[in-house]
Amino acid sequence: MNSTSEVLEERLLKGRDVLTWGDYTSSEIEQLLESAAQLKEKQQKGIPHQPLAGRSLGMIFENASTRTRVSFEVGMTQLGGHALFLSSADLQIGRGEPIQDTAKVLSRYIDGLIIRANDHEKVKHLAESSDVPVINALTDLYHPCQALADMLTIQEHKGSLKGRKIVYVGDGNNVAHSLMIIAAKLGLNITLSTPEGYEGTESIWTEAKKIAMETGSKVEHVVNPKEAVKDADVIYTDVWVSMGAEKEEEERGKVFERYQVDETLMSLADTEAIFMHCLPAHRGEEVSSAVIDGPHSVVYEQAENRLHVQKAILQAVFK
C-alpha cells in the first residue's frame, strides 16, 4: 500500500505536461520508473490493468514514427483507453489554424495529447493552450520518453542508477539533451563525446550542469571517444543525421567517422558495459553490426521499455 506521501506525490502528477525532465523532481522521475517496472511485471504475468477505461489519447505526428506511435497506441489500449492517430497533414493546423485553437478544441474531445513535432516551441505553445496534459513525443530539443525508457533499461541491467557512468558517443542531439537532464536528475555521471561544434545546445548544457551540482553527479564533454568510454557502464549512440539534417549527411559522415561504436571502442569500457541505441540504427555508420547485434547490446529491451514507461506516464498525468 502507498504511504500518505506517495499518494500525495501521485496526485501532484495529475494534469502535468511532460515536455522535459527538467520540469520534474528526482523523486517524481523515480516514482514513474517504479510505476513502469510494476506495469511491466503485471503485463508479463498477464494481470489486466485498465485504469484509463473510457479515456482517449490524441496523437499528433509531424514526422514518421515506429516505436513512439506503436508503443503509445498499444499502451493506451492496454490501459483500457483509446488512441487516435492525428497526422498534422490531416489536421487544420496543417492549413494554418492557430495551434491554440486546435489545442482548445481537442481538449474538449480527449483526455490527453502526445505530439511529435520539429519545433519545441510549438509543443510548448500547444501545452500552454491545452486544458489536458501534453506529452512530448520528440522535438528538435528533447526526447523525454526515450530517456525514461533508457533509465529503466539501465536499472534492470545494473541494479541501481546513482553513480553509474553513461557515455553518449556521436551527435549532441535531442536524445543526448534528454539523457543529460535525466542522468543529472537521477545521479548518474554522463559524458558526451562529440566532435567540436556538435556538443548540443548551450542552454541545456548549463541546465544539466546546474542539476548535476545539486545531485552530486557529473556532466562533461570529452572530444576523444576512446578517452571518454574508459570505465563506462553504458555506451550509447544515435544516428549521425537526425530528422531535418539530411542535407548535411555527407559532411557529417566525414566529421563523425571516428565516433563509430565498434568492438574496439566497446573493449575500452567496463567489461560488463551495455550498449544502447534509441533506434532506428544505421549499421556501419554510428555503430558496427558486431556491437548492435552482439552480447552487450540491449537495444530491443530499450525499445520494449518505451511501452512500459509511457504507460506509467499516461497513468500518472491523466486527470
HEC profile for the chain? CCCHHHHHHHHHHCCCCECCHHHCCHHHHHHHHHHHHHHHHHHHCCCCCCCCCCCEEEEEECCCCCHHHHHHHHHHHHCCCEEEEEECCCCHHHHCCCHHHHHHHHCCCCCEEEEECCCHHHHHHHHHHCCCCEEECCCCCCCHHHHHHHHHHHHHHHCCCCCCEEEEECCCCHHHHHHHHHHHHHCCEEEEECCCCCCCCHHHHHHHHHHHHHHCCCEEECCCHHHHCCCCCEEEECCCCCCCCHHHHHHHHHHCHHHCECHHHHHCCCCCCEEEECCCCCECCCECHHHHCCCCECHHHHHHHHHHHHHHHHHHHCC
* 4 pLDDT more than 80: no
Q: Is 238 annotated as a binding residue?
A: yes
Residue-level pLDDT at 90:
84
Question: Which range (195-209, 243-257, 277-291, 300-314) has the least confidence?
Answer: 243-257
Q: Is 68 annotated as a binding residue?
A: yes
Which of these, 3, 239, 268, lies nearest to 138 by C-alpha position?
Answer: 239
* 226 pLDDT more than 70: yes
Spatial distance between the Cα atoms of 273 and 38, rounded to a whole number of angstroms: 25
Residue 293 φ then ψ, to 5°: -105, 10
pLDDT in tens, 90-119: 888 877 889 999 999 999 999 999 999 999
- Mean pLDDT, range 277-298, rounded to an integer: 98
- Mean pLDDT, range 279-301, rounded to an integer: 98
Q: Is 217 annotated as a binding residue?
A: no
Confidence of residue 10 (pLDDT cuts 50, 70, 90): low
Going by C-beta distance under 8 Å and a sequence separation of 6 or more, which residues neighbour residue 299?
Answer: 275, 276, 277, 279, 281, 292
Residue-level pLDDT at 8:
44
Q: Is 119 annotated as a binding residue?
A: no
Q: Is 278 annotated as a binding residue?
A: yes
Residue-level pLDDT at 9:
54
pLDDT in tens, 29-57: 999 999 999 999 999 999 999 999 999 99
Residue-level pLDDT at 12:
80
* 167 pLDDT more than 60: yes
Residue written as grid cell 535531442: 174
**Chain-centroid distance, C-alpha 145:** 3
Catalytic residues: 116, 143, 146, 238, 278, 306
All domains of the chain in start order, with CATH: 9-142+306-318 (3.40.50.1370), 146-302 (3.40.50.1370)
Residue-level pLDDT at 93:
80
- Average pLDDT along the chain: 94
* 7 pLDDT more than 60: no
Percent of the chain with pLDDT over 90: 88
* 139 pLDDT more than 70: yes
- Mean pLDDT, range 213-226, rounded to an integer: 98
Q: Is 65 annotated as a binding residue?
A: yes
Q: Is 55 annotated as a binding residue?
A: no
Rounded to the nearest 10°, the torsion over CA 172, 178, 127, 18 is: 170
Confidence of residue 212 (pLDDT cuts 50, 70, 90): very high
- Mean pLDDT, range 192-219, rounded to an integer: 98
Residue written as grid cell 511501452: 307
Q: Is 306 annotated as a binding residue?
A: yes
Residue written as grid cell 539530411: 246
Spatial distance between the Cα atoms of 245 and 242, rounded to a whole number of angstroms: 6
Confidence of residue 2 (pLDDT cuts 50, 70, 90): low
Residue-level pLDDT at 5:
45
